Amino acid sequence: MRFQESWLYNPLRLTHQAAKRLFLLVSPLSQTHLNCCSHFEMSSMKQSLEGIEIPQAMHGSLETTPKHQTAVLSASFGSVSTNEEPEPAWWSRVRAYCREGFSEFFGTMILILFGEGVVAQVTLSHGERGDYQSISWGWGLGAMLGVYVSGASGSHINPAVTFANCVLRKFPWRKWPIYALSQVLGAMCGAAIVYANYRSAIDVYEGGSNIRTVPGFSDTATAGIFSTYPADFMTRTGQFFSEFIASSILMFIIFAINDENNNLAAGSLAPLALFFTIFGIGACFGWETGYAINLARDFGPRLVSYMIGYGPNVWKAGNYYFWIPIVAPFFGCTFGGWLYDMFLYVGSNSPVNTPYLGFSRLPRLLLARKPKESHSCV
């Protein structure tokens, strides 16, 4: 038999002497002997603990084992547990509420730090510390590490990717403005850090600390470190199509990487797969426009370059090219995602896999947004 007594106590009130007396070894007893003597043993223990203060908050349990085994009286001690938990610190509450925004902010910042950092190194060293392939490697690494950093929010780090997920994966629309703002601010912060790090080299390259020029207006322009500018031979249609096709490839592959119904889905290797995706896009489609494929990656740093002294030419260059990296990725990512869903995706969370390819929802949405008729009593 085993008689086990468990005590919940306050360790500050129960002395070491009391704890030592609680551990008693009782001689082998049959079940009948234990039944007859249990009252005597408990009375003896009560006498032995007289004068020692033990709190009333305790509980006991009786366990039976086969006959003729040693009956052991034991006590287990632990800290007093209460249902009341300390209120979290104010910053913990802020972090919990804003965690997704912080995640996208820092993920995009890491993307820019590595991407624009390698562009700055290659440009300012006149090609001695890298070449075009180095730039592709740098952007690929930045994307991979940015995805790791922003895992808490889904690792979008691109407003167009978030938009495509809203359209095709039922991602909450209410989160899109928060994600987009966080991504743009993260890109701006990353660009500012790169500029601060390479400012002395930019001064030497440009020819002075008060000289800041833009591609198309100078042979020693450095604005291309921070945002993309098209090649001189590119037409407006060619500029848009280049960004559109690169963005479509990006979203098509992102959906393939994350498709659970795809036997070769990347799973935990998704960041590595994205690294090769960005590297491939840069190596194969990056020459003509610089493969921005991301509003935050281009607009945020472009705004920073305007603020730090590159002037209005950052908006005028390339026949006002600046709006194309803002608009084209939304069309490209949405089209690339739709293309994957149309021919390969079988999940139920895509509107493509609903009746009439999702267009049956449009009448309901329009009716839901139709303003109610006002009835006048006049």
Mean per-residue pLDDT for 244-252?
98
* Residue with more model confidence, 28 or 89: 89
pLDDT per residue as tens digits for the range 13-35 = 444 454 444 444 344 444 444 44
Complete domains list, the chain, with CATH: 98-352 (1.20.1080.10)
Token representation of residue 10: 């306050």
Residues of the chain with pLDDT > 70: what percent? 72
In sequence order, what are the residues at sequence separation of 6 or more whose Cβ sits closer than 8 angstroms to the Cβ of residue 268?
none
- Nearest alpha carbon to residue 324 among 294, 360, 280: 294
Rg (CA), the chain: 34
pTM score, two decimals?
Answer: 0.75
Longest dimension (CA), the chain: 104
- Predicted confidence (pLDDT) at residue 372 exceeds the cutoff of 50: no
- Predicted confidence (pLDDT) at residue 156 exceeds the cutoff of 90: yes
Q: Residue 77, SS3?
A: coil
Interhelix angle 270-285/236-257, rounded to 10 degrees, is 160
CA separation, residue 161 to residues 88, 122, 177, 187, 301 (Å)? 34, 28, 13, 15, 19
pLDDT per residue as tens digits for the range 118-153 = 999 999 999 999 999 999 999 999 999 999 999 999
